[in-house]
Amino acid sequence: MTATDFPAETTMATASSRSRTDRRMALRGLAFVAPAALLLIAIYILPMIVLAAFSVTDYQLGALSIRFVGLQNFTAAMDDDVFMRAFANTVLYAVIVIPFGVFLALGVALLVYNRKRSRAFWEVAYFLPVTATLVAMATVWQFLLHPSIGPVNAAIKWFGFEPVAFLSNPVLLIPTMAMIGIWQVLGFNMVLFLAGLTAIPKDLYEAARLDGARNPIDRFFTVTWPILGPTTMFVVVTTSISAFKVFETVAVLTKGRFGSETLLFNLYLEGFEYSNTGYAAALTLIFLAIVLILSIWQTVHMDRKVHY
Amino acid sequence: MAYVRRYLPHLVLAIGAFVMLLPFYWMFLTSIRSPGEIFDVSLWPIPKDFSAGENFSRAASQVPMARFMLNGVIVCLGILIVQVLTAVPAAYALAKLRFPGRRLLMTLVIAALCVPIQALALPLFVGLAMTELLNTYFAMMAPFFLSVFAIFLFHQSFRSYPNEIIEAARMDGFSEMEICWRLVLRGSLPSLAAFSVFSLVAHWNDLYWPMIVVSDTNLAPPPLGMLYFADVESGANYGALMAGATIITAPMLVCFLLVRRHFIAGITMTGVK
C-alpha cells in the first residue's frame, strides 16, 4: 500500500460513515414525524377529499343510495333563499364588526399605551371579554338587553326614550350580535395594536416634532399611522376571519329565528340537523373559499407576528 | 384646560371599561341576588336579600354543572397532552433532522394552517357517525389531536436552538428523544406555556364541535352545558342562570387574572381564534 492511497481511503471511510449517519438521521426523522403525518392525513387530507366528493353528490347521512349530481348543489345554493340570507347577514355582521372592532381598538390602544401606572388595569379590563366563554356571556347580554327587566333598556327609558327590542326586532338582530362581537374582539385587537405601538422608535416622534408636527394628531398621521400600517392590515384580516365564523351568539340568542342565520349556523343546520350531507358539503366549500383568501394572507404574515 | 387634557384619556377609558365590564358585574350581581329583585335594575352592589347559595345550588341541581366542568377539564387536558406529544417531535425533526419528505411535510403543515376546523367538521362527523363513535370523549378530542399551529410555532422556536449543543449531546450518548424533550424543548418553555394557554382557552370555550358530536347531557363540556341550561331555564330564573354563567366563566377568568402576561401572549399569538 502506497502513501497516496491513504487519503483516498479515509475519505471513503468518512463518506460511508456519513451516509450511514445520514440514513440513521433520516429514519429517526421519519419516526419522529410519523404520528403527526398520520394525523395530518386522517384529520386534514382525507376529510378534504371526502368533502369535495360529497359536494357533487346528493348524499344524505344514513341514506342507502348516493347519486352524482355534478354542480347542482352549488347552483341550488345560489337559489336557496335561506343560504343567501345567511350570506347577506354574515356580510352585514362583518361590515359592522370590522371597522368598529379595529378602530375602537386602535383608539383604546393609543390611550392605554401612554398610561404609565394604570396601564395594567386597563389592559385587564379590556381583555377580560376575550377570555370569557362567549356562550355564557351571550346569555348575560340577553339578560342585559331584555326589553323589560334589562338594565340597558332601563337606562334608555330613564333618558326618556322608547325601549329598544334588541333581540326581537328582526332588523336589529344582526346589529345587536355585531355589537356583542365588537365587545368580544376589542381587547384582542387592542393587544395586537399595543405590540405594534411598542415597536415604533421613540426618536421618530422627536424628529416629527422638529419637523413641525406640533400637536399629537399631526404626529399620529405622520408617524404612528404609517408605521402601524402592517399591524392594522393584520388586525383587519384576523377580525374578518373571526367575523365570518360567527356562530355562538346566533346559537344562544336566536337559534337562527326571524331570518337571523349566519353562514356557519346555516351550515350547521343543513349538515348536522337536517343531514343534507351533500348540500352542506357544497356550502362548506363556499364558506372555505371565503375564509381561505383571508387565512392564506394571514398565514403568510404570521411569521412576523408570532414573536412577542 | 391642562386639567382636562390630563384626565380626559382616563375618563374615556373609564367609560369604555364600564361597558366592557358591565356584563361581568351584572352576571355576578344577579347570581347573588334573590329572584324577587329581578325587576330591580339598579347597579347597587349589595343585594337586599343575599341568595347566592340558593342560586348556585339551583344551577348545580337543575343541570349537572359539576359534570360539565369535569368534561371540560378531561377534554381540554386530553387534547393538550396529545397535541404536545405529537407536535414536539415533529417540530424537532422538521427543524433539526434531515429526512426525505421534509419540505413536503412543512408545506402541508403551512397549508393546513389555513383550513379552519369548521371546514373539516362535516367529513369528520360522517366518519365518526359511521364508526359509531359519536357521543364519546374521543369524538370531542380527535379532530384536535394534531395541532398544525403547534408544529409551526415549535418549529419556529426550535430552529434557533444551537446545533453545537445537539452535536455535543449526541457525542455524549444522549438519545434523540432525550435531546428533543430534555434539551431543545427546555429551551422553548415560553412557547410551550403560550401554546398551552392558547389551546386550553380555545377548547374550553369551543361550542361548534361539541354541539355536533355530543347529544348526551352527561358528556357536554361547559359551553354546551350552558346552552342546555339556558334552554331549560328559558328566562324563568335569571338568578340561577347567571350563577351557572359565573361557574362556567370563572376558571378562565381566574387563571387570566393570575397569569395575565402568559394569557395575553398565548391568546394573541395566533391572531386566529
Q: B238 to chain A: which residues are within 8 Å by CB?
A: 143, 149
- Answer whether B256 sits within 8 Å of A128, measured CB to CB: yes
For B214, phi then psi, to 5°, come to -120, 130
Q: Which helix (H) or strand (E) covers residue A267, if one does?
A: helix A263-268
- Tell me whether residue A61 is in a domain: no
A22-49 mean pLDDT: 91
Predicted pLDDT of residue B239: 83
Residue B235 has pLDDT above 80, yes or no: no
Give the rounded percent of residues in chain A with a pLDDT score beyond 90: 38
Helix, strand, coil proportions of chain A in percent (round to 5)? 80, 0, 20
Q: Are residues A120 and A37 in the same domain?
A: no
Which one-letter DSSP state was computed for residue A148? T
- Whether A113 has its CB under 8 Å from any CB of chain B: the answer is no
Q: What is the pLDDT of residues A165-198, one digit of tens each?
A: 888 888 899 999 999 999 999 999 998 898 888 8
Full domain range(s) for residue B156 = 75-222+251-268
- Tell me whether residue A220 is in a domain: yes
Predicted pLDDT of residue A5: 43
**Mean pLDDT of all residues in chain A?**
85
Find which of A18, A39, A238, A245 to mutate to test the B interface (most B CBs within 10 Å of its CB): A39
Which residue do the cell numbers 369535569 mark?
A: B70
A78-95 mean pLDDT: 92
Task: Show Cβ contacts of residue B41 under 8 Å, excluding neighbours closer than 6 positions.
Answer: A149, A150, A151, A154
A89-110 mean pLDDT: 94
A105-114 mean pLDDT: 91
- Tell me whether residue B25 is in a domain: yes
Nearest chain A residue to B213 by CA distance is A272
Q: Are residues A134 and A238 in the same domain?
A: yes
DSSP A16-48: HHHHHHHHHHHHHHHHHHHHHHHHHIIIIIHHH
Predicted pLDDT of residue A8: 46
Q: B26 to chain A: which residues are within 8 Å by CB?
A: 140, 143-144, 151
**Please, is A70 exposed, middle or buried when counting C-beta atoms within 10 Å of its C-beta (0-12, 13-18, 19+)?**
exposed
How far is the alpha carbon of A7 from chain B, nearest alpha carbon, in Å? 25
B17, B26, B116 member nearest A144 (Cβ): B26
A140, A186, A302 member nearest B245 (Cβ): A140
Predicted pLDDT of residue B1: 62
- Answer whether B118 sits within 8 Å of A46, measured CB to CB: no
Residue B135 has pLDDT above 60, yes or no: yes
- Whether A144 has its CB under 8 Å from any CB of chain B: the answer is yes
- C-alpha to C-alpha distances, B166 to A54, A133, B178, nearest whole angstrom: 48, 42, 10
Residue B260 has pLDDT above 70, yes or no: yes
- Tell me whether residue B243 is in a domain: no
Count CB atoms within 10 A of the CB of residue A2. Answer: 5
Q: B101 to chain A: which residues are within 8 Å by CB?
A: 30
Alpha-carbon gap, residue B3 to B9, rounded angstroms: 11
Full domain range(s) for residue A235 = 72-305
Q: Are residues B42 and B136 in the same domain?
A: no
Of A33-42, A136-145, A151-160, B119-128, the least confident? A151-160
Q: What is the pLDDT of residues A256-265, one digit of tens each?
A: 888 889 999 9
How far is the alpha carbon of B75 from chain A, nearest alpha carbon, in Å? 16
Count CB atoms within 10 A of the CB of residue A303. Answer: 11
B19-27 mean pLDDT: 92
Cell (9 digits) for A186: 376589542
- Tell me whether residue A66 is in a domain: no
* Global pTM value: 0.87
- Whether A52 has its CB under 8 Å from any CB of chain B: the answer is no
Q: B245 to chain A: which residues are within 8 Å by CB?
A: 136-137, 139-140
Q: B222 to chain A: which residues are within 8 Å by CB?
A: 133, 135-136
Find which of A17, A139, A194, A303 to mutate to test the B interface (most B CBs within 10 Å of its CB): A139
Task: With cut-offs at 50, 70 and 90, classify the pLDDT of residue A104.
Answer: very high
B87, B116, B248 member nearest A133 (Cβ): B248
Q: What is the pLDDT of residues A198-254, one digit of tens each?
A: 888 888 888 888 887 778 888 888 888 888 888 888 889 889 989 999 999 999 888
Q: Are residues A136 and A188 in the same domain?
A: yes
Q: Which helix (H) or strand (E) covers residue B112, if one does?
A: helix B102-113
A48, A104, A245 member nearest B118 (Cβ): A245
Name the nearest CA neighbour of B176 among B81, B80, B98, B84: B98
Alpha-carbon gap, residue A295 to B111, rounded angstroms: 10
Predicted pLDDT of residue B40: 66
Domain count, chain B: 2
Confirm if B99 and A26 have CB atoms less than 8 A apart: yes
- Tell me whether residue A42 is in a domain: yes
Q: What is the pLDDT of residues B99-111, one digit of tens each?
A: 999 999 999 998 8
Task: Show Cβ contacts of residue B149 under 8 Å, excluding neighbours closer than 6 positions.
Answer: B113, B195, B198, B270, B272
Alpha-carbon gap, residue A294 to A274, rounded angstroms: 29
- Tell me whether residue A60 is in a domain: no
Find which of A22, A32, A237, A273 to mutate to test the B interface (most B CBs within 10 Å of its CB): A32
Task: Show Cβ contacts of residue A13 under 8 Å, excluding neighbours closer than 6 positions.
Answer: none
Q: What is the pLDDT of residues A268-282, one digit of tens each?
A: 999 998 989 999 999
A139-157 mean pLDDT: 87
Confirm if B273 and A191 have CB atoms less than 8 A apart: no
Q: Are residues A173 and A119 in the same domain?
A: yes
Q: Are residues A21 and A133 in the same domain?
A: no
Domain count, chain A: 2
- C-alpha to C-alpha distances, A169 to A126, A164, A218, nearest whole angstrom: 29, 8, 43
Q: Are residues B172 and B44 in the same domain?
A: no
- Tell me whether residue A67 is in a domain: no
Q: Are residues A6 and A81 in the same domain?
A: no
- Answer whether A271 sits within 8 Å of B121, measured CB to CB: yes
Task: With cut-offs at 50, 70 and 90, classify the pLDDT of residue A7.
Answer: very low
Q: Are residues A221 and A145 in the same domain?
A: yes
Nearest chain B residue to A308 by CA distance is B265
